[in-house]
Every structure is written in C-alpha cells, then in structure tokens.
A and B are shown apart, each in its own frame.
Chain A
Amino acid sequence: MLPFAIVSLLVTVSQGCGRHSGDPDTAVESSYGSLWPLPQEVRFSSLSLKIRGSSFQIWDADESSAGPSCSLLKNAYRRYYEYMFPNERTKGHTNGFADPSELSQLHVWITSSDSECDGYPVVTSDESYELSVNQTYAVLKAPKVWGALRGLETFSQLLYEDEYGARNINLTEISDFPRFQHRGVLLDTSRHFLPIKVILANLEAMAMNKFNVFHWHIVDDPSFPYLSRTFPQLSQMGAYHPYTHVYTPADVKMIIEFARLRGIRVVPEFDTPGHTQSWGKGQKDLLTPCYSGPTPSGTFGPVNPILNTTYDFMNLLFKEISAVFPDPYVHLGGDEVDFKCWKSNPDITKFMEQHSFGEDYSKLESFYIQKLLDIVTSTQKGYMIWQEVFDNGVKLKPDTLIHVWKGNQQQYQNEMAKITLSGYKTFLSTPWYLNRISYGQDWTSLYRADPHNFTGTDEQKKLVIGGEACMWGEYVDSTNLMPRMWPRASAVGERLWSAKDVTDVNDAYSRLSKHRCRMVERGIQAQSLFSSFCRHEYKGI
C-alpha cells in the first residue's frame, strides 16, 4: 500500500480552459482536477498510471451481488467506457500480464445482497460508494447499483490527458455519498414542448452532475402534452399539436427507463387547481366558468372544486398517473391559485356559504386540495406540493414534501424554518430558478445558496431533503435549453452533493471549467463560464 497524502495535482494540460487573463481570482488551479461535484473525501497520490482504451475493461467483481444479468450496470460500463475513450477503435482486451504503470481494470463490487439492479431509485436509495485506484486495477465498492453509477461518473472524471493526448489517472482513494437525498432538475414541457431527444440529453447531463430527480412539470396552462390513456382528449385538444407535440405512453416509459439506468427518479407534476387552462380544452366542466356580472364570461378559472365530477375525474387520472410513473411520489402543484374567477361564480359563492368558508377562498382551495390528497393517498403515492399549500394551512400527511420556491433569501429561509418547525420535510428551489438569466457569471450566486442556511435546530435541518434547479419554459425550448441549463445547474449539483464546507468559488471555477469542457466533449451543449476554450469544442451549430 502506497502512502496517500492530499497533494496538489498539477494537471498541466488536459481539457484546457486555462486562459482568462485579467481575472486573477479565477486563475487558480484546483488540486482536485476536474472532479464535479467534489466527493466527500478524496485522497490523491502524485503517482500516475497510464490508462488505454485498447486494454482497459470494467468488470463485475467476483464478490459482487450484481451479476452478468444486471443490464443497468452493463449499460453503464459501456456508457462510461465510451465517455472515457471516445475515439477508441481497437477492441478492448487484457493482454494477460500486468504492467505496473498501467491501469487496465476497474472492478465494480456491489456489496449488499440486494443490488437493486432491477428496481427504481427512490428518495432513500443508497448512493454511497468507495473508489480506490491502485496499481494495475481499481475497485469501486457500493452497497447498491445507484452508488456504483455515481462512482463510475467519478472514476471517469479522474482521467486526464497529458500533452501527448495519452490518458492518465492518479492513484486515488475516494469515499463518497450525497449531502442531500433529493437533487432535482425541473423541466417545463407545457410552455414549450421539449422533444424527447432534449429530455434524454438533459438526463445524461444530470447523471454527469449526480442529480437524481427529474421533476417533470409536464402540463400547465399553455398546453397538455401528456397523452392520457384514460382521457385522450386532454392532449388531443389541449396539446399544441395532437400528434407532433405530445408524449405518448411509450415516450414516457422510455424516459423513465432512460432515467432509471442513470439512477434518476422521474417525478411528474400535475399541477392543480390553478395552472390548468389547457386541461379545460379536453375535459368539459372541469374548470370553473368565470362570470362577468350575472352571466358567464366565456373564460375559465381554476379547476372547479364544488363538483363531484371533478373528483371523479381526478380519481381516474391519478390512478393512471400512479400506474404510469413508478416513483412513490407525485408532485401535485397547488401554486398560484387565482381566486378572482371563483369569486365571480355564483355557484361557488353559494357553496362557500354552505360550507361557512366566509370570504376566505383559501379555505375553498384547502377543501379542494384536501380531497385531492385523499385521492392520491388512495393510489399509494406520497406527494410533493408547492409551498402555498402549506402556507394556506391545508392539512397534510406527515410525510408530505414541501417545495419552497417563493420570495427573497430572507423570506425563503424563514419559510424553511417555519416548515421544518412544523415537522415537515422540505426542499428548496427559490435561489435556483435557472430560467432567470442575467449577464455574467451568475453561477456563483447559485453556488453560494445553501438549503441549510436558515435559523433552526439540527433536527429541523435534517428535514431538508435537498433542492431543485428549475427551468421554467416561458423563454426556453429545445433551441436554448441545454446551454441555459448547463453548467449553471452544475453549481446546484455540487451544492446538493458535496460537503457543506465546499464553498471556494475560485477552486470551483477551475474544476467547473474543466467539467463543462468534459460535458461538451460528451456532446452536451454546456455553455462557457468565461473567455476560454475547450480542447474539443461543441461541434454542432
């Protein structure tokens, strides 16, 4: 065993991105190379090994509980081999004898008896792993396949090119696990339809940044692209186009499997009672008719909470959703309900009187949400909701996850304190609305936000399960999604994965510049942090 020490790794060339004259703060070379997000514990040796595509192989360790039938891992081995050796043409084979200056094998060892190879990742999934790069071979140990996926990504990030283009890896010991369990990215496929290809590319980039939740804000006011088997008219009438701008059951299935293979959960959001204009096109009498004086105005408001038919519809729809999406959670929205239309409607006014709600329409909203939660509970799903539902005092199950999105820093920190004080679990998005753009390096403010920065006890902090980067779709579609998302979301990725004290922006800049070049090399349209170059630039247009 070689003595390991934390030493400066002088990666002199590799992925470039070194020149940013006139910006001395960013001219720092990180001793952690291009690792992103930074693992919890890293020990490098200065001793490096060659690693060649022609001889390198990834194996299941003999002791591993995941055998040759674990296609999730097999897929991952191939994927990471191709990431590491994109131009390799010679067939992989071992030459039988061990060259001490070369690393030829990575053994992947799933240590617990149930590898979870054929399961879906869930919020409690174990993503920890240990990686040790020794002379001649490396070992990746993880209790579950989910940790192995994270470890493979880390392993691929240890490779660097020398000035001759040869690949090297230093002897390394890594012990790693995520700081937060819920590390999500939200895509909005209602304001603009996102072709499958873009969603898949985004999932790939998420895996490169160790995100594990794809929050699919699938429908909203502008369009309803989800093709429901139970209510096909919802997308037939509510999608931008009934054939070209919809997600069929097969599409959804493919996305879920693609995500699973990368250890990513797919949590769909069917936001009600507001944000449902597009639902009304295909589902008669679902939305509240708004009134102008004594007559209907022809416009519609939120879901009509006073009709039994509304709940019959929701019951069937959520039954379908709970079958289509395997994740134990579904996001129910509940944000930004505009009471104006409800107020204008005489039937609702009468209903309010009958139920003694007075003038308090948030009570009506609570009434609706309460019934919806009962419906969803009956499908054996847990739920996430936007913070307003909590703010309005709706009775929630104790395992409800509350999604914080509003306010300035002070406000969202107070909200987190309030929610956790009430004993609920929560996750944060307010500082991570990536659709909001501004000139310059705004990733630094994303990077500095921390979900634990609020006043509360340790017990309260434990109730924070993570956060989500949100890319709302008003101004985003397949033309600009990827460069707007990456590497800005990477900043959020590190905040949610790495240790709390990983906050050095200069060190992060150095690693993130290289990480973004690596994403570009892997075909991800990740934009640049500042004047610089990548050895392999994006080749598309």
Chain B
Amino acid sequence: MNPPPFPDTAEQEPVFSDMGDGESDEGEDIFLGSSKTGAESPSVPQLNIKAETTDLFAEQASSTAPTVGLGTGGSSNGVQSDDDNDLFSDAHVELPTENASSSTPSGPRPAATFIPGTADMQTKSMEQLEEEEAKDTFDVDVAVTNPEKVGDGMHAFMAYRVSTKSTLPVFRNKEFSVKRRFSDFLGLYEKLSIKQSLQGCIIPSPPEKSVVGMTKVKVGKDDSSSVEFVERRRAALERYLQRIVAHSVLLQDPDVREFLEREELPRAVNTQALSGAGFLKMINKASDAVNKMTIKMNESDTWFEDKFQEVENEEQQLRKLHIVVDSLVNHRKELCGNTAVFAKSMAMLGNSEDNTALSRALSQLAEVEDKMEQLHHDQAASDFFILAELLADYVRLLGTVRGCFGQRMRAWQRWQEAQSTLQRKREAEAKLLWANKPDKLQQAKEDITEWESRVTQYERDFDRISVTVRKEVLQFEKEKAKDFKFQIYKYLETMLQSQQRLIKFWEAFLPEAKAIA
C-alpha cells in the first residue's frame, strides 16, 4: 500500500492534516466532530502509528542500537516532557554526553512504506507531536503536597495541599492552592460520576479508602508504615487529580474548578459507596450489563466487542503483574533490613578488631553498608511508587473503562426497551381501532407520539454515548501509553542514579580497604 506522496517539507500544514501523526490524527477527527464510526480511514493512521511506535522502541528493531546523540537537557525531550514537568524536574539526570556524531537515526525502517526523505519528516512530526501534547495538557499543573494531621484521636484527618498552576482564563489566579481532605476527593469523584457516567466518560478513580491505614495515622503511630501509607495516598491523590485535569471534558466541569479553587468546600457525605469494595461493585454492575444482555446486540462493527474483550484481558494481566511486582518490592525491603543488620555486625567486629587499619576499614565498611541500606530502601520505593502503583492504578482505571462499556449497553437497552414499548403501543392502537373505541384511541395516539419521541431520543443518546465511549477509550489508550512510557523512563533514571551512587560509595571505600596492613 502506498501512502500518498509527501508534499515538500516546506509546507508543514498540509503534511500534518494529510498524514498527521497516528495519535493526533484520531484526535483531529474527533475534535472536528466528524463521527467516524466504522473503521478508521485506511492505511494512513495505521502507518503513522507504526512509525511513532517504531521511534519509541527503535532499539528493538535493531540489534545494535546506534548511539544516539542526546538532545541535551533543554526543552522538549520527547514524550516525557509533557505532563507535569515541574513536579518531576528533579528527576532530571546528568547523563554522560554521548558522541554527537550519531549514525543512522533509529527511525522507521525503510521496509515500511516510507520513501527517502522521511527522516526530516520524522523530526518534524516529533515536534508537532509535542505541540499537540502541550495542547492536550491544557496547560494545567496540579500537585498534592504537605500532608498534615489535623485534630486528634479518632476524629483526626489528614489535610493535603492542592496547588494549581494554570494560565487558563477560567481560573481567577495563575497560581493558587487550597486545603483538601480525602473525603473531598471522593466527593468530587461522586459528583463527576453522577453527571458524566451517563455520557460514557472515563472518569479517573480516586485511591481507595483504608480503615487500617487511616486508623494508624489517627492513633498517632509514627512508624515507617504510617509514613509510607500517607506518602502512598498523597501520590495517588496527585495522580488522580492530574488525570482529571488532563481530560478535556472534566476540566471544564464546574465541580472540578470549584474543587481546585474554592477556599472551603462543603463536607462531602455519602462517600461510603466509594470504598474499595463499593467501587468495584459499582463497576461490575455496569459491566455485567454487557454480559447479561437478554437481547443480543448486533454490533454493526466489532470494535466495541473486541475492545471490551481487550480491556478485560488487559485488566487481568495487569492484576497478575501487580502481584509479581509486589513480591519484588517485599524482597527489596527484606534486603534493606538484612543490610542494616549486617552493617551492625560489621561495626561490632570492627570494634573488637586489634589490627588498627583493619579495624578502621571494618568500621568504614559498616558505614558504607548503612548507606547501602538507604540505597536499597530508595530502590524499593522506586519499585513501589513507580511500578507497583502504576499497575494498581491501571487495574482500577481499566475497571472504569469496563464500566463505560456497561453504560453504553444500558443506553442501548433503554433504546431497545423503548422500541418494544412503542411497538406495543402501536399494537394497542391497532386493537382499539378494531374494537372501535374512539375515546381510548386519543390516549393511545398520544402514547405513541410520546414513545416515538422517546425512541428517537434514546437512539440519539445511544449514538452519542457510543461516540463518546469510543473517543474516550482511544484517548485513554493514548494517555496510558504515555503514562507507561513516562514511568518506565523515570524508573530507568532511578536505576541509573542508584548505580551511580553505589559507585561513589565503593570508590570512596576502596582506598580504606587497600590501606589495610
């Protein structure tokens, strides 16, 4: 299949709208409002997505990855520069500069359908992609910080500072912050769910309630598990808000703006439904609708069926992965503990050692091992906060996606039921005509009119929700890919930092060891 010939590189606009980048092509279509049900327009988007992904995972296609020149520090470093730069700016690592004379770019393989000269195309589309993404984030940065315990005893709670930075005119200020407690976050979710779920929106879910965790905090336990619990929750709340503001529809919701801006929020009640178990129940009820349908839906295109299956599968897989990562985290924590104990023994041995140089070396080594303990601890935190929580988040989010499909099913059912009712009304009218009862006929006719309009309404609703779900899912997948990529990148950075720290420790110790005599 030949792609349309590329116009001169000077003309960027036509290029963009013709071929576009895979992902933003989808976006473009939807934002313009043209509903593309059925299959996407043939080869072009498909092609570009391949190109995109080939970029991102280039080294998989080639066994010897060419040394790529680093776009030094500066502005956009590809995908991870989006979403919350400020918050992760400390994650920036000084990487040794590679020789800038890079050989072939790890771009798309010519075997794919590109013609020569697309290398330039590649760079441009990266830039364009970043612009698109910058637009996507809608220029809102949200952070959740400073967890503080308020009050005492069993009525105590944690207050978090929610800070927003935005140039959007809809906000009163450019930067502002408010204090919120956990139930406020749950309350926001509930309001959004009620309003939006009927539309088929995928609403990011908040972290779960935890009676055990919170009780420890309330009681005043200052141990590491409480600290970890609070940090875990803070990070989860932050991700939750970040996902909400990344969503174009939700950002425009007045409840969201109120949550971010308003000084005092009325206390949210009725958040019981949103405990972990309750949330799951709600989701399952919605997605059960898909499975237990009495009237089998005849999908004109299999997109929805296929996608739903995919989502279910993925959710299961992520669950399994999460368990495995959990085990990794636990072993690392164990290593932490073992290292600390080892360090103590080493110190004791150093103290009882006669030989001066050996004694000093052993004591130094004990200190190094203490630092190693810290390193292992940080590593465990990385594993947890980056990998494990990522997987946990997406298990929940995929559940939400399943719920959306369920909503669509409900809409369809409502439409179908309305159609049956209409049918019955018509039959009833016919019967009345036969039986010649003019007085009841008027009522029957009114009924029919009412139900006809309902049928039309519900059909429209169903179409609309189908479009929304589709758009939401595609957007979700896009976000997910970005999210995973960003997290992996962060994880790699922490790995690198960890090794670099380790090298420093041991290089400092080596002369001590050599000085033993």
Q: Do A and B bind each other?
A: no
**Residues in B lying within 8 Å of A, measured CB to CB:** none
